Homo-oligomer: A and B are copies of this chain.
Amino acid sequence: MSKLKYAMVGGGQGAFIGGVHRKAIALDGQIELVAGALSSSAEKARASGRELGLADERNHASWEALLADELQRPASERIDFVSIVTPNHVHFPVARAFAEAGIHVVCDKPLVHTSEQAADLGRVVAKSGVVFGVTYNYTGYPMVREARDLVRKGAIGQVRKVIVEYNQGWLATRLEGGDNKQADWRTDPARSGMAGAIGDIGSHAENLALTVTGLEIESLCADLTSFVPGRKLDDDGNMLLRFTNGARGVLIASQIEVGCENDFRLRVFGSTGTLDWRQEDPNYLVHAPIDGPKRILTRGSPWLGESAKLATRLPTGHPEAFIEAFANVYLGVAAHIRALQAGSKPDPLAADYPTLADGARGVRFIEKTVESAASSHKWTSLQ
């Protein structure tokens, strides 16, 4: 199997998530970095690319230069996809331009700043037919896929209630305005978008809950707060959810809960069973059937479904973690791209990744959350 080639936009020196994407992509030896425009600063972009061993002619000072250069290369040299790992406000122009040019795209989340942008992007992608993945990376965990399978198979009956919480504490004090580049842009409306914690991690919570349950949110009632003085965006959000099937939910996303590291947990309560998964202990999924004791499902076990098995690299007890989950999203995109290149129908089990539709739904979720919180906290419809 020949390697796919990709370029990265963003993720230069001092960035955090770009390096994670690169490690995840490198892990399985199926995809290689060949080009980049790694920073909005031309100088930093070049330096970052050199550090990563990019050839000079494919190490660009801007994403526009990268795109132009790719388009003039022969197909055999050209990248198979671009990975966009910039701050949020840059997602839209880059994704739109590459998609329009017919280059497959992987874009970080939240996808864009507004539903209008998402709709526009949707039209462009529909027209060009490119593969478009959004790195809701947590859905790449094998036990998340097992949870999704169990819900689909009816293992917990009808879903009645969802509690999804994403607890962090790193922004409990004022970090912005100092050396912390992450804190800086994530609390800046111009770069982060209209929401803070809700945009950054609440959107992960929304996507995980909907991906696993297959439900849609009918309406929500949100309370957003900025606890740290001077902060411009919410650093704490809590909301009640109603799903279209009548199920109820609670979603919590906070970055001021001291001592919480990346405590992302999903509980799905059905009429005949419950599922409980925690990101900080991701190799396990607790399944409580109504008529027997709790069962601890572990990644790598023979009694798991095909989807979890396919997403697994190591035997039980040899823990896999964050990077492998991230890598699974890229493998899903890669499987889709390879199928298109081979002219075959993608295997849905392999081409398993969050799509543009997930991304657009997430943008709408953020908008409606902010709307509910601003409007005397009324229940706000998403349908």
Instruction: List residues of chain A with CB under 8 Å of any chain B CB.
Output: 1-3, 16, 19-20, 22-23, 26-29, 33, 51-53, 156, 160-161, 163, 165, 168-170, 172-173, 221, 223, 225, 227, 236, 238-240, 242, 248-250, 252, 254, 256-263, 267, 269-274, 276, 279-283, 286-290, 292-298, 300-301, 303, 313-324, 376-379
Q: Is the CB of A221 within 8 A of B240?
A: yes
Nearest-CB residue, chain B, relative to A239: B240
- Counted per complex, copies of this chain come to 4
B160 touches A256 (CB 8 A): yes
Q: Do residues B261 and A316 form an inter-chain contact, with CB atoms below 8 A?
A: yes
> Is there contact, CB below 8 Å, between B273 and A1?
no
Q: Identify the closest chain B residue to A252 (Cβ).
A: B250
Complex: how many Å from CA A121 to CA B3?
38
A167 to B19, CA, bound (A): 35
A168 to B279, CA, bound (A): 23
Across-interface contacts of A53 in B (CB, < 8 A): 1-3, 29
List 20 extra interface pairs beyond A173-B290, A221-B221, A223-B248, CB under 8 A: A2-B53, A23-B27, A23-B29, A27-B323, A172-B290, A221-B377, A250-B250, A258-B288, A258-B289, A260-B317, A263-B317, A280-B283, A282-B319, A293-B297, A293-B298, A314-B323, A319-B319, A319-B321, A320-B322, A378-B378
Asked if residues A248 and B262 are in contact (CB atoms below 8 Å), the reply is: no
Q: Is the CB of A257 within 8 A of B161?
A: yes
The distance in angstroms between the C-alpha atoms of A260 and B290, with both chains bound, is 10
**Are B248 and A225 in touch, CB under 8 angstroms?**
yes
Closest residue on chain B to residue A294 by CB atoms:
B296
Closest to A376 in B: B379
Q: Are A295 and B293 in contact (CB under 8 A)?
A: yes
Q: Is B296 a contact partner of A169 (Cβ separation < 8 A)?
A: no
Min CB–CB distance A375 → chain B (angstroms): 11
Listed residue (A161, A258, A283, A377) with the most chain B CB atoms within 10 angstroms of its CB: A258
CA distance A254 to B267 in the complex (A): 13
| Residues of chain B with a CB closer than 8 A to A16's CB | 315
